[in-house]
Amino acid sequence: MIRVGINGYGTIGRRVADAVLKQQDMELVGVTKTRPDYRASIAADKGIAVYLADQKFAPDFQKSKVQFAGSLDDLLRGVDVIVDATPELGADYKSAYEKAGVKAIFQGGEEHELTGLSFVAQCNYDEARGHSMVRVVSCNTTGLCRVMHALGSSFGISKARVVLARRAADPDEVGKGPIDAVVPDPVTIPSHHGPDVQSVMPELNITTMAIKIPTTHMHLHSVIATLKSRPAPSQVVDALFQEPRVMLVESKSGFRSTASIIDMAREMNRPRNDVYEAVVWRDSVSVQDDEVYFFLAVHQEAIVIPENIDALRAIASDCTKEESMKLTDASLGIASGR
Amino acid sequence: MIRVGINGYGTIGRRVADAVLKQQDMELVGVTKTRPDYRASIAADKGIAVYLADQKFAPDFQKSKVQFAGSLDDLLRGVDVIVDATPELGADYKSAYEKAGVKAIFQGGEEHELTGLSFVAQCNYDEARGHSMVRVVSCNTTGLCRVMHALGSSFGISKARVVLARRAADPDEVGKGPIDAVVPDPVTIPSHHGPDVQSVMPELNITTMAIKIPTTHMHLHSVIATLKSRPAPSQVVDALFQEPRVMLVESKSGFRSTASIIDMAREMNRPRNDVYEAVVWRDSVSVQDDEVYFFLAVHQEAIVIPENIDALRAIASDCTKEESMKLTDASLGIASGR
């Protein structure tokens, strides 16, 4: 039984918490919160032990109806692994985790150098063996690694180019813009996404450009890859179909936009309408000479959740990659080869 | 003096009308309208003769305060050239224009085959000589032709790939979406934009992908081109700087998004905040091996206006390409080499 704590209960933390609760080989010891808000209250109602991210938040909690179980240090004393889901404060917390002697999973907002190992389950699960700390890469990097793994394994990639249209804010982030503009972000090229993919797949030649647009639900990647062989479009579709955690959708089935994909997740009763899969439009897959083109959608809030679960097993159990991914997928309702 | 009529007074028609009024070698005989709305009323107040697009609209006008000068046939009798600015109804009107013996300019919503000549001034002005009908290409195609002309002339292009993030609606089109989604449009690849560029530049190897996003102000292109030579980024910037009707902006001067570019046009007192230039972020221009990357913004309502004016001269005067572009640019305040 892996005893798991989660430091931070925002976009990622609360999803990892629910996913941990679904694993038969894991125990959720507790999560930390900074505010006794509706999220803390709902967590407590679900029976999740809420700890203070810092002792200074105690008065706020004491004034509220939300009970707290102790401090972060108390939480760390009871766990084997802490999942750092702080807003890019992992580097600040690392020494506390080390001091407590717990293993740690960090998120993609941290630098690769923080752990020296950037993790995507299907690409490098086994490399995490023996590490006490790993970094699960960001949502966009995770989505790209999955599809590049499919293309690279089957056809070889001589050059990948991706234009990322990034959702500007999560649905509850009402203070962020833009409302009616496209922001080249960054203006300079390449964006950090290409080098971040290379932190998992060092041999891949990839250049990325990113723009920020007024949507909240998913990132949309336009993928252009020069392959080392010249497959038919159907072979590319097959390779993506065979790849774990990649979902193929078609416009003729009603998938006209990113909104349709989120709506599908709502119809499927996925918790928080989460889409854990990298989603590729099957009818976008096109091949011209040695170049393949397709559209890829990434649910920024959800795609890294299975990776966090697998990373926990990779550093804190003897579970094999295949076993772990199978357990994770079954628990989250991820069907490969859709 | 070229006597000009304009059939349609929407996004393009009203802008072409104002631009014609600024040309010393052109006379605006009148425009057609379907409704006696505020646009018709403002046009009449400016002294523009308003004709009925169809006789069936006469009762609506008679009930309003907007005077009309006659029918489309009346207008056609008084002009040398008609600019068709209808909502993609040019093919329906073509025979009426021919019957009236007037020359015609069509817009990019029509098929290339309608006239057999697709026009971008700096690419193929001279080819329009002797034609009685030409098609000015769409906004995105115009922007792409200008920058590809710059790259092609200076370095040669072996392969161009462009991802177009298209504004979903013009600012006054309140019925169009999406509000919070990305729409691959079309899902299939390539989009029509590549072939449309080839209607002007038949030798160019180009593939385009397009998505529709919730903005109203400009299209944003991510351009990726493999060149036949390997210039330094500064040489690419120079080539774009030298190209007519291409404007370079920099993020350090405050150009953080498409909204900044429109705001610049407002500061410049451009009519209707129009940006006639193809706008490239200078600091986005990047070269990796033999590939160049940059961001290009296209003001969908305005970029084709100078092309319409030049097309008028190309088919109805002896004016040379250089003379015409110089007259057009001076009248509209377009400074090359910004």
pLDDT digits (tens, 9 = 90+) for B159-215: 999 999 999 999 999 999 999 999 999 999 999 999 999 999 999 999 999 999 999
Q: What angle do helix axes A321-332 and A13-21 make, rounded to 10 degrees? A: 100
What is the count of residue pairs from A and B with beta carbons less than 8 Å apart?
Answer: 143
**d(CA A163, nearest CA chain B) in Å:** 7
pLDDT of B148 strictly over 80? yes
For the record, the structure tokens of A6 come out as: 């989660």
pLDDT on residue A24: 98
pLDDT on residue A155: 98
Residue bearing tokens 């379907």 = B34
Please give the average per-residue pLDDT across B222-238, as a whole number. 98
**What homologous superfamily does CATH list for B139-298?**
Dihydrodipicolinate Reductase; domain 2 (3.30.360.10)
What percent of chain A is predicted at pLDDT more than 90? 99
Of B178, B215, B286, the CB nearest to A182: B215
- How confident is residue A335, by pLDDT bands cut at 50, 70 and 90? confident
Residues A41-75: tens digit of each pLDDT: 999 999 999 999 999 999 999 999 999 999 999 99
Residue bearing tokens 């900074």 = A34
Q: What gap in Å lies between CA B312 and CA B12, rounded to an integer?
A: 15
Tell me the pLDDT of chain A averaged across its residues: 97
pLDDT of A338 strictly over 60? no
Domain A2-137+304-332 has CATH 3.20.170.30: no
Contacting residues of B for A291, CB less than 8 Å apart? 159, 161, 207
CB contact under 8 A, A180 and B215: yes
- Tell me which of B193, B222, B294 to substitute to probe the interface with A (most A C-beta atoms closer than 10 Å): B222
Q: What gap in Å lies between CA B97 and CA B114, rounded to an integer?
A: 13
pLDDT of B337 strictly over 90? no
pLDDT on residue B150: 98
**d(CA B55, nearest CA chain A) in Å:** 39
CB contact under 8 A, A293 and B209: yes
pLDDT on residue B335: 83
Q: Which entry of A123, A139, A145, A319 is annotated as an active-site residue?
A: A139
Of B159, B220, B291, the CB nearest to A211: B220
Is A139 an active-site residue?
Answer: yes
- How confident is residue A76, by pLDDT bands cut at 50, 70 and 90? very high
Going by C-beta distance under 8 Å and a sequence separation of 6 or more, which residues neighbour residue A315?
Answer: A81, A103, A105, A128, A129, A131, A132, A133, A134
Please give the average per-residue pLDDT across B63-92, as a whole number. 97
Of B189, B220, B291, the CB nearest to A293: B189
pLDDT on residue A336: 66
Residue bearing tokens 């000068």 = B69
pLDDT of A12 strictly over 60? yes
Interface residues on B facing A, Cβ-Cβ cutoff 8 A = 159, 161, 163, 165, 178, 180-184, 187-190, 207, 209, 211, 213-218, 220, 222, 224, 251, 256-260, 281, 283-284, 286, 288, 291, 293-295, 297
pLDDT on residue B122: 98
Please give the average per-residue pLDDT across B301-306, as a whole number. 98
Please give the average per-residue pLDDT across A5-14, as a whole number. 98
Please give the average per-residue pLDDT across A266-286, as a whole number. 97
Please give the average per-residue pLDDT across B290-306, as a whole number. 98
Interface residues on A facing B, Cβ-Cβ cutoff 8 A = 161, 163, 165, 178, 180-184, 187-190, 207, 209, 211, 213-218, 220, 222, 224, 251, 256-260, 281, 283-284, 286, 288, 291, 293-295, 297
pLDDT on residue B336: 66
What percent of chain B is predicted at pLDDT more than 90? 99
Going from N- to C-terminal start, the domains of chain B cover 2-137+304-332, 139-298
Q: What would you measure as the largest C-alpha separation in chain A, in angstroms?
A: 66
For the record, the structure tokens of B297 come out as: 């913004």
Compute chain A's Rg from CA coordinates.
Answer: 20
pLDDT of B338 strictly over 60? no
CB contact under 8 A, A165 and B211: yes
Residues A195-254: tens digit of each pLDDT: 999 999 999 999 999 999 999 999 999 999 999 999 999 999 999 999 999 999 999 999
Q: Is B74 exposed, middle or buried (0-12, 13-18, 19+ CB in 10 A)?
A: middle
Question: A118 - beta bridge partners?
Answer: A135
pLDDT on residue A337: 52
CB contact under 8 A, A214 and B213: yes
pLDDT on residue B232: 97
CA-nearest residue of chain B to A217? B181
Q: What gap in Å lies between CA A212 and CA B295, rounded to an integer?
A: 13
Contacting residues of A for B216, CB less than 8 Å apart? 180
